[in-house]
Amino acid sequence: MDVVHLNQKQLAACWSISEATLERWRSVGIGPKFLKLSGRVADRQVDIEAYEESCLQIWTYRGFGR
């Protein structure tokens, strides 16, 4: 099985967010697990999919009576 990696620019484009947002998320522990090799960040496709799965929502709670 080949491991697929995305770089920060590719992941930001997939999620329509800025690279700065990904950097900020990583600094506070938000987002998928990532690799940092020789100062370069890479995200494994399997970790991206796991993070997306953890973010799935069935419904949005807005409270009753609103």
pLDDT value of position 55: 93
pLDDT value of position 43: 97
Residue environment code for 2-12, b if the CB has 16+ CB neighbours within 10 A, otherwise e: eeebbebeebb
pLDDT value of position 64: 67
pLDDT value of position 29: 96
pLDDT value of position 61: 77
- 10-residue mean pLDDT profile of the chain (66 residues): values are 92 98 97 94 97 91 68
Which amino acid would we find at residue 16? Answer: S
The domain ranges of the chain are 5-54
